[in-house]
Structure 1
């Protein structure tokens, strides 16, 4: 057996000075030959940048002693390097070496940028004393985070985990990477713990396989419990739940909030009761019929009051502990547990390749390298929904990047081509479903085509190999693709769903795999996210600060026992749970995971999963290593909030025109109410949903209040004026919540608490402006025939503009809002002057101020929050 080490990388780019390049041109002892579909003759290609890089690596390796000029090591074995010159072709050094032909063929199949076949004394000793003596070994574990895969022969290299190389190769980093591997091997061989590490090396019985059950390894780490021994899955779930107790702080707080809301409404009944005692008119009790509707609006402010008290006076130790719905501490890493295969799924649209997609994929590739060196398997798939909308040149550049970096991609055909329809209001769901449907069909075909052995003797005589699995997958893939009409995959026990503008921490996959294995009842692990800023102007800075506050608030409520949210990205999803919650589409009856008839498909799927008994978990142990982009313009932020409001409305209510035939409440919401989800979680979800209704009704309610108070002079004490509501909102939203957030940061011992307290006060005007100018008629649009929903498919990059370009854009985008606001404010001014008859003249401050503030903010909102307008860039 030859003792070789194969090093391969993603990139190799020469950083040589001109004098060094000239020196390489004159180096006659090193030549390259190109290999592709046919073998080229040496010397016919001349000298170019690829030759310069190959000669540089060859010279460095020769000086280090890994290679010789003629490509022969001390034992006569063939060694050398291969560099990809273009897709399907490589350059080899030394050229015309028969012993490198298998190596060249493997490198071509791997489509890696650069590969080095070396042999050194440390490699020789490692193979002889630790690999040859154990033929069953698949990986050699050098330390807790480094495993080197073992391949039977050069021909098996196409099955290698490409991201298990020591480092990405940038410029001349292939040499330091080879040296780091050499140093790691030497440290391993001379370590006193070499024997103990060798005993922990993963053998064939614990290799990672997509078909291996998820629960086999979890039983080894969970304590034994009494229960039904015939149902190991149920026993594992019960054991996992015992290890994660349910925090009861949030249920108690929710009960107090509900009691507070009931007390506030009871005070409303007190007024007509007193009036009835005096005048005996019982007709005013008809107003009590609206109290149930008011209760849902009061739910959110009542929760704010109680949660503020909890933040000030309640316990905070749970923020740093693990519980049923919250993970503050990383799961213990057990080397005996097989790591789960992970598929990274990234839906994209028409984002810039260089500015948005490439930085995200590079972040993903770094994390993939760490996980594969730890022994895991990672697949990356891009659901590119905008590929068919790009120009030929841009499309070719995207496809070339995917191909060069071993990134799988799925692109839906255009709408109407060969009968294909892009249905749905929010195309992300359809984009993901198109990819998942292909993956599901591949799994079904693979199960149908797999030939299981009849007995143990047959299995021993003809064992199933990785080549058999690869061939079976290729056949199933070809058949599934043919069934889809060639219009177009994801494989793995766990899916990491990210956005196109996400950053992923390097060492996060092992923790997710461990937690998913140890908690088989968890469907989604949603990670708290940091903020990735690109523009750094005042609007992005304000939204970024608001987002960080939101993450802290969610983390605290989840740690206290409230339900964990699913925000649609930076989350690990269990593939089996997604398959279980798939529902038939009412349009064609095909089961789909993501709802194409809902705008907030992430919120909808979280409700379905919880209704089926799955657990959602919020994790903070990544220390905000996951990063997400935020809105760069006020238009993007408006569309985002409108999407949330529209999605929440359509989850609860059917449009009004369907009430006679379908009832006001949707089937999903009725199922949610009847499910076994804890009552406090239901209350919190409904409070969150109806808060959008409260904000959306601001314009209509303030106008109605102006008419009732100013024109008709309604004075019934049962009626709560907009003036009182305005005072409560200012007190809670601009006063109490900001003070509480400053104190909470200090109590949680978060970094920069003092600095953030100053920023909390600084951003109050910005946050007030944003929240007072959003949503408008979104909820009304859902209930009427307008049925226009916002679309957020694309993450924009920074676009430079100026004052004269932005003014026409603002008018085209917001002209209805501007005209309506000006009309209302003009009418308000006129109604206070002598132009209005005295009987209809409005001078009451309780009527004027709420209406003026509401529509003034709607008028100035598009201008004061536009960075190109406020900076006066011409």
Structure 2
């Protein structure tokens, strides 16, 4: 399964009687146009008719006004060659199979009948003198290349409109000698048509004057076909990370060695060797301190080390996009996979789909093809019938392939067949189900005997027949619609994602140039939903994480895979696929909440490369936690996932051993040792956070009752606190600002320093108060205690002081009980116990009091809805 077996281009969408409407534009104006037409102003505001108009009569009147306005614009801009023609004008869908037209007589025209197959909301014809000239000098009967380098499809006649690439939003109709332009918004439609006409004028002008048709480009090449023409991009490995890890190991071993030196020295003085039992704690001490030591070394390299590697491409890192070369063959097909649950269609899913469609439009005009594949896990899991119908209409209207698996039904309740939604987080099993259906469909289509006389209509019918056959063979009854076939590459996104309009071509080129790359992970910016301090703080932290990842990977570390905004090679996923106990193919691990980390480890074991790309900047955007509840849940999931990857539950240790097969295979794999050390340090950091409250409590009694008895090998929590504050709150912030200044990510060093230090208090409370929650997740896995989490909120919830108070008391009652209990303990041990048992030392009380304060303040101080004191 290792070879890149290309999936054929997708068949036409499954014909399901669904309809829908939207107000947002499918595509933006054509990128790269030499002139931008002024945005036309409608005499009214266009809204989704199903929402703005309470009855069908009102909707029809609104549509008639829009169509009449568009027709007036066509005539005023001379886009109509003959006002008496019955083949030129404006069209707007009134119902699924009918259009309102201007002129009215167009409703019975051949064009109106053909537009039913186009599945477009608003369409106009464009037949100006410029267009007529373009048809006379047209060199190709397949496509017209614009000055921007994008291509517009050419269709022989209206009979071939079924074959149109819909996301291009325009097509030359050769037989009728006009251009069809379509969109979902009337203002965007006029803007698109004007841009197209301007670019045609540019073509005529530059051709007539003998100038170069294309503008100069820094990454265009005249090569013919990437690897087939011997085009190879040299990517030298970088070994700076190996030096960093060597220094980290040296520093860690030095600290451990100094501790052993103290033990040996004290034993030699008093000839008491019982203290040497502390050596057994050395491996745990080493692991818990590993991440801290790594941060210290990385800070030194950020201050004084090289930064040129941050601007060059290497084995695991892409700072520059690949060259765009002219191809002799078609671009590979890309499938954009988007798992969703019960998120709002209007506020969350629809903006994401519009972003995806804009990127597909650009890619299709560059010569490629793509489809959207939604795995809808919420349709049959609690949505109302109206919400289900709205989703179906939305999917069909936007040419989206979708799969909705049945609800969780473990014991065949209510007469429905048994069906298990496996996994604690459900995202992995949701994607597995959709990919499984696609694989079964491809197997059916591969059995079809094809000859040269076979048409696209025949392929569409075969697709429908095969899909029905696949559905009939399933023991459950999912809902399926549209094109669910998977292309050569899968762009994995979340439901609250934005992607750059021109990103697919670069991603495909890089994957084609580097056949060893299994995943191309892109850096991401933050999709802001609110303006409160908590989201701003988490946004800052997200940017910090991606900056750190980019720096480490540019140094030679293996690229990470974060589970979204990544291009995956379909053949690499097939290479690491496996079958479960029911002999059902699985691509994503359903037994772990960290299915992305699991996928990354399995790919690396099979010698696939994970690469991290930063050349898109903040073009890719992801949502972050909007509330402290979601942020705590996120850390609990990560901690639980890390524990799942490394350790078997305690009940299985005698039978399976303490370590999972996955981590054993990873440690013995060919992955660079430096990358293994970084991964182990990352995992160990969760155990360091989770154990912080335990160490502060133990330290309270050790320092309070046995301060003069404990060995100097023991480092009190107060000393540890001083080190943590210096490194994480002071040194790392200075080094981050200096690194961003040196790499030109930030041009103002003072502003960067101010931005870093203004969030110190918030993150001191956050990380100081996460210990109990992280520890809870780790212990739940180790002791096989059932734990579940609610879905992350993708949109803002209206809340106030009186709603938040009971919510906080209900969710964090255990946390507050611990805090109150520890406070009582401190006061009792300070005043109520016999003198010899009293604990009043500052070094004993302060670390515990700080831990109590952070845990108490976390759900209160970091809750904007509570801090606003609104009701």
- Name 1:663's counterpart in structure 2: 657
CA contact (8 A) 1:80 1:100 kept: no
Instruction: Go from structure 1 to structure 2 and tell me whether the alpha carbon gap of 1:396 and 1:15 turns closer, same or farther (over 3 Å shift).
Output: farther
> For residues 715 and 464 of structure 1, what CA distance do their matches in structure 2 show?
85
Residue of structure 2 equivalent to 1:130: 138
CA distance in 2, matches of 1:195, 1:370: 28
1:480 aligns with 2:493: no
The CA distance in 2 between the partners of 1:789 and 1:693, in whole Å, is 20
The Cα shift of 1:855 comes to 1.9
How do 1:51-62 and structure 2 match up within 5 A?
Answer: 51-62=64-75
Quote the offset at 1:386 in angstroms. Answer: 1.3
SS at match of 1:83: strand
Moved more, 335-344 or 800-809: 335-344
Q: C-alpha separation between the residues in 1 aligned to 2:509 and 2:436?
A: 27
For residues 818 and 12 of structure 1, the distance between their equivalents in structure 2, rounded to whole angstroms, comes to 47
SS at match of 2:497: coil
Q: CA deviation at 1:113?
A: 0.5
Give 1:809 deviation, angstroms: 0.4
Q: Distance in 2 between matches of 1:98 and 1:569?
A: 45
Contact 1:344–1:380 (Cα < 8 Å) also in 2 = yes
Partner of 1:374: 366
CA change 1:317–1:688 in 2 (3 A) is: same
- Report what 2:548 is aligned to: 553
Match of 2:173 in 1: none
Question: Which one of 749, 758, 763 corresponds to residue 754 of structure 2?
Answer: 758
Residue aligning to 1:779: 778
CA distance in 1, matches of 2:301, 2:395: 49
Q: Distance in 1 between matches of 2:525 and 2:386?
A: 34
Question: What is the rounded CA distance, in whole Å, between the counterparts of 1:863 and 1:412 in structure 2?
Answer: 39
Tell me which moved more, 116-125 or 187-196: 187-196
Alpha-carbon deviations, 1:545-593, whole Å to 9, x = none?
11111111111111111111111111111111111111223x4232211
After TM superposition, the score normalised by the length of structure 1 is 0.85
**What is the CA distance between 1:106 and its match in structure 2?**
2.7
**Structure 2 matches for 1:641-652, cutoff 5 A?**
641-652=635-646
355, 358, 361: which one pairs with 2:353? 361
Pair 1:106 & 2:114 matched: yes
Corresponding residue number in structure 2 for 1:790: 789
Instruction: Please give the per-residue CA displacement for 1:643-679, whole angstroms capped at 9, x wherever unaligned.
Output: 1111111100011111111110001111111110111
- Quote the RMSD (CA, aligned, Å): 2.8
849, 852, 855: which one pairs with 1:855? 852
Matches within 5 A, 1:542-691: 542-585=537-580, 587-691=581-685
Q: Distance in 1 between matches of 2:634 and 2:659?
A: 24
Does residue 429 of the first structure (1) align with residue 428 of the second (2)?
A: yes
Residues 408-459 of structure 1: per-residue CA shift (max 9 Å, x gap): 22212111142111111001111111111111111222112244x6xxxxxx
Deviation at 1:90, TM superposition (A): 2.1
The structure 2 residue matched to 1:265, chosen from 256, 269, 290, is 256
Provide the aligned length of Structure 1 versus Structure 2. Answer: 791
The equivalent of 2:50 in structure 1 is: none
Asked if structure 1 preserves the Cα contact closer than 8 Å seen for 2:206 and 2:213, the reply is: no
Which whole-Å CA distance do the structure 1 matches of 2:373 and 2:646 have between them?
A: 33
Distance 1:246 1:467, change over 3 A: farther
Cα 1:45–1:815, aligned 2, differ >3 Å: closer, same or farther?
A: closer
Q: Which deviations, in whole Å up to 9, do the C-alpha atoms of 1:765-819 show, x marking residues without a partner?
A: 011111111124211111013231434x343311222211110000111111111
Equivalent residue in structure 1 for 2:496, among 482, 501, 505: 501
| Aligned twin of 1:694 | 688
Residue among 94, 97, 116 paired with 1:85: 94
Q: What is the CA deviation profile of residues 357-398 of structure 1, one whole-angstrom value per residue up to 9, with x for unaligned ones?
A: 222222222222222211221211222211221222222223
Give deviations 1:518-545, integer Å, cap 9, x for gaps.
1111111111111121211111111111
Alignment of 1:201-240 (within 5 A): 217-220=225-228, 222-223=230-231
8 Å Cα contact 1:770-1:861 kept in structure 2: yes
Give distance in 1, aligned partners of 2:185 and 2:689.
51
Does the CA-based 8 Å contact 2:559-2:610 persist in structure 1? yes
SS in 2 for 1:697: helix
Instruction: Determine if contact 1:450/1:472 at 8 Å carries over to the other structure.
Output: no
Segment of structure 1 superposing worse, 824-833 or 677-686: 824-833
Mapped pair 1:181 → 2:181 = no
C-alpha distance 193-715 of structure 1, shift in aligned 2 (>3 A): farther
Residues 120, 183 of structure 2: 8 Å contact kept:
no
CA distance in 2, matches of 1:434, 1:505: 28
Residues in 1 aligned to 2:286 and 2:189: alpha-carbon distance in whole angstroms: 66
CA shift in 2, pair 1:483/1:197, >3 Å? farther
**Is 1:393 paired with 2:386?**
yes
2:590 and 2:435 map into 1 onto residues whose CA distance is: 13
Please say if 1:864 is aligned against 2:861: yes
Structure 2: how far apart are the matches of 1:572 and 1:413? Answer: 28
Residue 206 of structure 2 is matched in structure 1 by 191
Please say which of residues 86-95 and 506-515 is displaced more in the overlay: 86-95
Structure 2 vs 1, CA of residues 109 and 61 (structure 1 numbering), >3 Å: closer, same or farther? same
Partners in 2 of 1:342 and 1:104 — Cα distance?
Answer: 31
Which range is displaced more, 729-738 or 689-698? 729-738
Return the alpha-carbon distance in structure 2 between the equivalents of residues 45 and 423 of structure 1.
Answer: 47
CA gap 1:518/1:158 in 2 versus in 1, 3 angstroms: same
Aligned to 2:267: 276
Task: Quote the Cα distance in structure 2 between the aligned partners of 1:332 and 1:767.
Answer: 41
For each residue in 1:662-705, what CA deviation from the matched residue of structure 2 results, as whole angstroms up to 9, or x when unmatched?
Answer: 11000111111111011101000010000000000111122122
Give the SS at the match of 2:447: helix
Please report how far the alpha carbon of residue 187 of structure 1 lies from its aligned counterpart in structure 2 after TM superposition: 2.5
Measure, in 2, the Cα distance between the counterparts of 1:299 and 1:450.
60
* Alignment-derived partner of residue 438 in structure 1: 437
Cα distance in structure 1, aligned partners of 2:59 and 2:408: 48
Inter-partner Cα distance in structure 1 for 2:449 and 2:700: 72
CA deviation profile, 1:735-771 (whole Å, cap 9, x unmatched): 2111211222221222344322112111100111111
SS at match of 1:78: coil
Q: Residues 767 and 48 (structure 1 numbering): CA distance in 2 closer, same or farther, change over 3 Å? A: same
- Hey, what's the Cα distance between the residues in 2 that align with 1:794 and 1:305? 33
* CA distance 1:664–1:189, shift in 2 (3 Å): same
Indicate whether 1:310 and 2:301 are aligned. yes
Q: Distance in 2 between matches of 1:507 and 1:381?
A: 19
Secondary structure of 1:115's counterpart equals strand
Q: Does residue 804 of the first structure (1) align with residue 802 of the second (2)?
A: yes
Q: State the 1:298 CA deviation.
A: 1.8
The aligned residue for residue 66 of structure 1 is 79
Return the alpha-carbon distance in structure 1 between the equivalents of residues 209 and 320 of structure 2.
30
CA contact (8 A) 1:540 1:631 kept: yes
Distance, in Å, in 1 between the alignment partners of 2:227 and 2:710 is 68
Specify the alignment match of 2:833 in structure 1: 836
Do 1:778 and 1:789's aligned partners in 2 also have CA atoms closer than 8 Å?
Answer: no
C-alpha distance in 2, partners of 1:623/1:450? 46
* Aligned CA distance change for structure 1 residues 449 and 853 (closer, same or farther; 3 Å): same
Once the two structures are overlaid, the 10-residue window that deviates more, 331-340 or 251-260, is: 331-340
Pick from 815, 820, 827 the counterpart of residue 825 of structure 2.
Answer: 827
SS in 2 for 1:379: strand
> Are the structure 2 counterparts of residues 193 and 321 from structure 1 closer, same or farther at C-alpha, using a change threshold of 3 Å?
farther
**Hey, what does 1:411 align to over in structure 2?**
404
Shift of 1:217: 4.2
Aligned to 1:747: 742
Matching residue of 1:770: 766
| Pairwise CA distance, 1:316 | 0.6
Distance 1:17 1:286, change over 3 A: closer
Instruction: Report the CA distance between 1:275 and its aligned residue.
Output: 2.4
